[in-house]
């Protein structure tokens, strides 16, 4: 599979990125070499190998169901670009 | 017109009844001031890491076992990516590749016929926040109190063929989840909501028709109407030789029709990939067995037990177990005061009547088993008669009053002093010679009149049995 201009445009749109012509070319090259690496992998026989779902050999990291957080609204909202009435304020998204 | 068959599949979201959110220690309590049930994890602050709530996994497994699913003993989470401010991380942690439960089925019954609705899968995921439009600033305000509340999504096979079957399936599912204690299923609070996938095809056709989706429906009534409405709309289109567009539609219950939602320019592409911040889950045979052994009694078992253990009719058992809340109150009350048939009557008749009057669901019942048990005690101790008991019960239903104190304060106890009663009855006999004559001439009905008159004089605070006996005695 090769990376076309359309693919770059599509992926950029999904990620909400605006790329310059130069950046698009670079992304095309980078993504192309990643896919080429995948092609190498595809040459191997992986029939009986379970796909790796995590890099660390750890399983079952859990929390008990106990309330541990109190309200810290002011601190949380201090990270927001804008806030109003105890809410995060964002550009209009609902009709 | 050709004859058509409707094909319906449901995606049901149920909020789990855990105390805390799926990946952080924030409370899941409904309501609260905006953004007060939040922390850096569930508001998607950079650098935070999720830690999975063990109870979520156990609840999902419990639901899967009850729906006869196979449990995926090696499972994991994936990211579903999309930009919308109700999801501060710009992705929802969900399960695509290895959902925790797969391939089950639930038996439903409509019009005396039984059938199995297949369960394709059940997966765990996190709920999103709430957006409110602010007309003053023309912007959107976001409250993340619900963000990160654990959900299971139960995906059915396209096995339902009518609104009746859809409602039967939802009711069965709701009861299963409530009995398991996995979800409270309060539809008005959005803790149970359904997406309806519906298509129509000519009877006998092998292929499914093109389907539409109606999202986030949270009332049984609206769901039944939406199924009917969307079915009619699709058949009409086909009859006029038009094509059905695969799209998401919004059901407007007031206008009794559905509208296409503005479709986004790009088709949805969620770019799922394994969630690297959470390690895989390994469900051992022992753990699975433990959860299996903990499964509580579900409705069908409970119904049979009520008939045998409490010796109440199947009809009663059916109504009472039709709501987890009613069943809980029933068992608690009987444990306190015995008299299962008496308790069952109060729940089936008076409680149901008052619920209907107040347009409430049994889940919203607020009175305690203790006060109902006290009321039953008062009746059996001969302290109050049934007419008074009904009045008192209305107060219990409304504000969970203690009936013993209430009866005392209002002076509602029956007059059990035979002497007082006897003198009142003597007065009544003297004042109603015609009725007395009628009775003596064999008109039994006249006695009823005299009992009524006595009761009126006693302001309802007398035992009708006792009045009867004294009357007959004196006549
Ligand atoms: Zn949190």
Give the residue extent of every domain in chain A: 5-43
Query: Which residues of chain B have a CB within 8 Å of the CB of A69?
Result: 24-27, 38-39
B23, B277 Cβ separation under 8 angstroms: no
State how beta strands B139-143 and B248-252 pair. Answer: unpaired
Q: Is the dihedral of CA B247, B252, B257, B262 positive or negative?
A: negative
In angstroms, the CA B344 to CA B310 distance is 10
Q: For residues B310 and B287, what is the distance between their CA atoms, to the nearest angstrom?
A: 34
Please tell me if residue A57 touches chain B, with a CB cutoff of 8 Å: no
Strands (E) across B234-320 are located at 248-252, 257-260, 273-274, 281-282
List B residues 52-71 in contact with A (Cβ-Cβ < 8 A). 52-55, 57
Contacts of residue A77 in chain B, CB cutoff 8 Å?
35
Chain A and chain B share a number of CB contacts under 8 A equal to: 138
**Does the CB of B286 have a partner CB in chain A at under 8 Å?**
no
Cα–Cα distances (Å) from B288 to B59, B174, B232, B244, in that order, read 12, 23, 45, 44
Cβ pair A90:B133 closer than 8 A: no
Decide: B321 and B305 in contact? Cβ < 8 Å.
Answer: no
**What pLDDT sits at residue B265?**
47
Per-residue pLDDT of B131-171, as tens digits, reads 999 889 889 999 999 999 999 999 999 999 999 999 999 99
Gap between the terminal Cα atoms of chain A: 40
Quick one: tokens of B144? 């993340």
Rounded CA-CA distance B187/B207 in Å is 34
Q: Are B66 and B174 in contact (CB under 8 A)?
A: no
| Topology, domain B418-474 | Arc Repressor Mutant, subunit A (1.10.10)
Q: What is the pLDDT of residue B303?
A: 92
Across the interface, of B25, B84, B141, the residue whose CB is closest to A84 is: B141
Q: Is B315 left (phi over 0), alpha (psi -120 to 50) or beta?
A: alpha
Instruction: Please indicate if any CB of chain B lies within 8 Å of the CB of A71.
Output: yes
On whether any CB of chain A is under 8 Å from the CB of B27, the answer is yes
- The pLDDT value given to residue A33: 92
- pLDDT digit string, tens, across residues B85-139: 999 999 999 999 999 999 999 999 999 899 999 999 999 999 999 999 988 988 9
Q: Structure pTM?
A: 0.83
Domain map of chain B by residue range?
Answer: 4-287, 297-410, 418-474
pLDDT at B56: 98
Cα–Cα distance measured from residue B260 to residue B249, given in angstroms and rounded to the nearest whole number? 4
Two structure tokens written together for B327 = 């069943």
Q: Does B115 touch chain A (CB under 8 A)?
A: no
Q: From ligand 1's centre to the CA of B95, what distance in Å? A: 20
User: For residue B152, which of B60, B19, B280 has the smallest C-alpha distance?
Assistant: B60
Query: What is the predicted pLDDT for the residue at B469?
Result: 83
CB contact under 8 A, A63 and B139: no
> Considering CB atoms only, which of B18, B54, B281 is closest to A59?
B281
pLDDT reported for residue B263: 58
Low-confidence ranges of chain B (pLDDT < 50): 265
Q: Give A95's pLDDT tier (boundaries 50, 70, 90).
A: low
The token duo for A24 is 């698009």
State the pLDDT at residue A29. 92
Tell me how far apart the alpha carbons of residues A9 and B8 are, in angstroms, rounded to a whole number. Answer: 37
Tokens 């048990």 sit on residue: B373
pLDDT at A47: 86
Q: For B182-262, list the strands marked E by DSSP.
A: 192-202, 212-217, 248-252, 257-260
pLDDT at B461 (0 to 100): 77
Question: How close B280 gets to chain A, by Cα (Å)?
Answer: 5
Contact in structure between B126 and B66 (CB atoms under 8 Å): no
Is domain A5-43 classified as CATH 1.10.20?
A: yes
Alpha carbon B130 to its chain's center? 23
């Amino acid at each position: 599979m090769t990376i076309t201009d359309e693919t770059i445009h599509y992926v950029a749109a999904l990620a909400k990125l605006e790329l310059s012509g130069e950046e698009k070319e670079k992304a095309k090259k980078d993504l192309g070499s990643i896919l080429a690496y995948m092609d190498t992998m595809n040459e191997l026989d992986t029939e009986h190998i379970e796909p790796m779902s995590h890099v660390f050999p750890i399983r079952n990291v859990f929390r008990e169901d106990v309330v541990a957080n109190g309200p810290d609204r002011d601190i949380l909202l201090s990270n927001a670009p804008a806030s109003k009435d105890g809410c995060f304020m964002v550009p209009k998204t609902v009709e | 017109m050709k004859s058509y068959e409707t094909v319906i599949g449901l995606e049901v979201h149920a909020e789990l009844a855990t105390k805390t959110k799926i990946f952080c220690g924030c409370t899941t309590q409904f309501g609260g001031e905006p953004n007060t049930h939040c922390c850096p994890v569930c508001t998607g602050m950079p650098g935070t890491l999720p830690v999975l709530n063990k109870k979520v996994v156990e609840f999902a497994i419990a639901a899967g076992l009850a729906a006869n699913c196979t449990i995926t003993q090696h499972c994991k989470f994936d990211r579903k990516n999309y930009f919308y401010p109700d999801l501060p991380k710009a992705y929802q942690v969900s399960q695509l590749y290895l959902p925790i439960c797969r391939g089950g089925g639930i038996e439903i019954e409509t019009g005396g016929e039984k059938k199995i609705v297949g369960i394709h899968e059940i997966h765990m995921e996190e709920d999103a926040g709430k957006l409110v439009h602010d007309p003053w600033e023309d912007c959107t305000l976001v409250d993340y109190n619900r963000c990160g509340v654990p959900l299971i999504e139960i995906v059915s096979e396209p096995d339902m063929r009518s609104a009746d079957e859809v409602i039967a399936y939802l009711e069965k599912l709701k009861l299963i989840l409530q009995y398991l204690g996995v979800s409270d299923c309060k539809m008005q609070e959005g803790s149970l909501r359904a997406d309806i996938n519906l298509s129509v095809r000519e009877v006998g056709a092998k292929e499914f028709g093109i389907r539409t989706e109606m999202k986030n429906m949270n009332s049984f009534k609206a769901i039944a109407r939406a199924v009917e409405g969307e079915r009619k709309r699709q058949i009409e289109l086909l009859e006029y030789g038009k094509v059905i567009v695969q799209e998401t539609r919004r059901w407007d219950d007031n206008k009794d029709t559905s509208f296409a939602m503005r479709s986004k320019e790009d088709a949805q592409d969620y770019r799922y990939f394994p969630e690297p911040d959470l390690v895989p889950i390994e469900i051992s045979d022992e753990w699975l067995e433990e959860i299996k052994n903990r499964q509580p009694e579900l409705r069908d078992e409970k119904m049979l037990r009520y008939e045998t253990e409490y010796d109440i009719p199947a009809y009663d058992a059916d109504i009472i177990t039709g709501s987890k809340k009613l069943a809980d109150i029933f068992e608690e009350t009987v444990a306190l005061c015995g008299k299962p048939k008496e308790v069952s009557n109060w729940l089936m008749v008076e409680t149901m009547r008052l619920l209907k009057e107040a347009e409430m669901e049994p889940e919203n019942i607020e009175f305690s088993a203790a006060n109902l048990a006290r009321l039953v005690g008062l009746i059996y101790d001969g302290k109050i008669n049934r007419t008074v008991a009904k009045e008192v019960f209305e107060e219990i239903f409304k504000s969970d009053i203690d009936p013993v104190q209430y009866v005392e304060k209002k002076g509602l106890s029956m007059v059990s002093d035979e002497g007082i009663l006897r003198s009142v009855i003597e007065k009544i006999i003297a004042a109603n010679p015609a009725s007395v004559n009628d009775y003596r001439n064999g008109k039994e009905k006249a006695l009823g009149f005299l009992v009524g008159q006595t009761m009126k004089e006693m302001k309802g605070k007398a035992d009708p049995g006792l009045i009867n006996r004294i009357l007959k005695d004196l006549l």
